[in-house]
Amino acid sequence: MKSSTNTAFALLLASLYPQLSSAQMTSDSPAKLPSDEAISTTAHKASSEKINEIEPQQVHIQGHKQYRQLSVAGATKTDSLLIALPISVRVLSAELLHDTGATTLRDALDLSSGIQRQSNLGGLWDSYAMRGFTGDPNFGSDYMVNGVNSSRGYNGVRDNANTYAIEVLKGPASALYGRGEPGGTINILTKKPRFDNAFQMDFQLGSFQEKRLAVDLTGPLNQQFAYRLNLARESSNSSHDYHNSDKFFVAPSMLWRINDHTTLSYEIEANEQKSPFDRGVVAIRGQLGALPDSRFFGEPGDGRMQVKSLGHQVFFQHDLNSHWVLQSGLSYRDSEIQGYSTEASTLLADNETLRRQRRYRDFSASDRSARIELAGKHTFAGIQHQSLFGIEHVQFADERVQLRRNPSNSNPYSINIFDLYMENKQIHWRFLSTPKKIKKPMRSTFKIKLIGMRNGKH
């Protein structure tokens, strides 16, 4: 009985530890368990044999580039950490804009959530809505350049050639730093002169015969002065018939390092663009798609609208000590739009006859602003504070001359939107009535002057 009991115990151990199956078991003596050292040595030898049997495998590790900014400077006019601001902020860096090929402000804002494109006056300026708020439809959408309001007037489609970063402040709290739009505020930081030589040139080719050349050049003149020159030239056709545009942008800047605590900078932005006035296709019975997107309802003989803007900015900064900074700035900008256009007016009940309107625009504006601010960091009651005290003066003047001829029964200035013919390899309209020139009596002129003052404390 004792012998059979020992044999059963040995078989149980062998099932739990296969390496013990080779141990000698006799009916006269109980099975002897191996030591812990013997078990470890046997297990290590078995695992080594299994590892040697596994063929080596190649492991691929992929990383994703992240574009993350930790601070915001221009929009809040203080160098603040994003985590310390009680508002939603997104910073689009120059590296992100370059890698995504965003050459204009409207392309860049497509990278930020909560922003949608809006009617852009036939492609003549930037227009977008932030969180559903569009702003004043008579001008382009609001944005700032280096913390200064720079969108008032007729500045055209903004180029990113001299853009260092774009700060997007969302929500009504951004009104502390902008023009009071409840949807948010856009601030553009420009590239600054550097005291080390650098040069970059980009050449871009795209669809519809797009050609673009951009140059970025910076360096020191001596130990106190540095310069920077940003230049862009672009020409392209479009998916729309008769639509070709030319754009030129140049932005020279100069930095004077007066001493280790004081700097003075001067920046210029000059922009010129030429493109036809084009509001797109009409909807038939309230539905799009009956006509190709390429259809142009204007007149090629009207020529192209011309947009010009010239801006100046002067900034002064002096470090009073390690905690407080005195900063001030002056800004002056002239802008204008001029040219003829033919625009869709009324689609008649037959859903084929389109009456059109002829216009001549000559709009101009001037925008002046000045500000002085004191910014600092200090501790009060054991809490770290960041304060900004400032005063700003703004003066804006807008002058418009617009000549307009509306369609009538005697002169409907109409076309059949489906009836086209070819001549010299170009598409032309078959007129249902003869277009007439605009008469001088149809003239309206008005001028707006806005003078304001704003005090801020934060």
Tens digits of residue pLDDT in 113-146? 888 888 788 788 888 888 888 777 777 788 889 9
Of 16-20, 356-360, 393-397, 412-416, the poorest mean pLDDT is in 16-20
pLDDT at residue 178, as a whole number: 59
Q: Look at the domain 71-187 and name its fold.
A: Ferric Hydroxamate Uptake Protein; Chain A, domain 1 (2.170.130)
CA dihedral 294, 295, 299, 305 (to 10 degrees): -40
Q: Is the pLDDT of residue 53 over 50?
A: yes
Of 80-89, 339-348, 381-390, the poorest mean pLDDT is in 80-89
Q: Which of 83-92, 173-182, 230-239, 429-438 has the highest mean pLDDT?
A: 230-239
| Residue 364, burial from CB neighbour count under 10 angstroms (0-12, 13-18, 19+) | middle
pLDDT at residue 147, as a whole number: 85
The residue that leads in pLDDT, 431 or 255, is: 255
Q: Is the pLDDT of residue 30 over 70?
A: no
pLDDT at residue 297, as a whole number: 85
Q: What Rg, from alpha-carbon coordinates, does the chain have? A: 35
For the chain, what are the domain ranges?
2-45, 71-187
pTM: 0.74
Of 34-43, 65-74, 234-243, 383-392, the poorest mean pLDDT is in 34-43
CA nearest to 334, candidates 302, 308, 300, 354: 308
Q: CA 163 to CA 191: how far, in whole Å?
A: 6
Q: CA 230 to CA 241: how far, in whole Å?
A: 32
Q: CA 198 to CA 185: how far, in whole Å?
A: 32
Q: How many CB atoms lie within 10 A of CB 155?
A: 30
Strand, coil or helix: 434:
coil
Q: What angle do CA 189, 191, 195 make, to 5 degrees?
A: 140
pLDDT at residue 383, as a whole number: 86
Write the DSSP assignment of 23-85 as a string of letters. Answer: S---SSSPPPPPPHHHHHHHHHHHHHHHHHHSPP--------------EE-TTTTS-EEGGG-
Check: CB of residue 331 under 8 Å from CB of residue 377: no
Quote the mean pLDDT of the chain: 78
Both tokens of 391, joined, read 């005063």
> Across residues 75-93, what is the average pLDDT?
76
Q: CA 169 to CA 186: how far, in whole Å?
A: 6
Residue type, 404: R
pLDDT at residue 452, as a whole number: 38
pLDDT at residue 423, as a whole number: 43
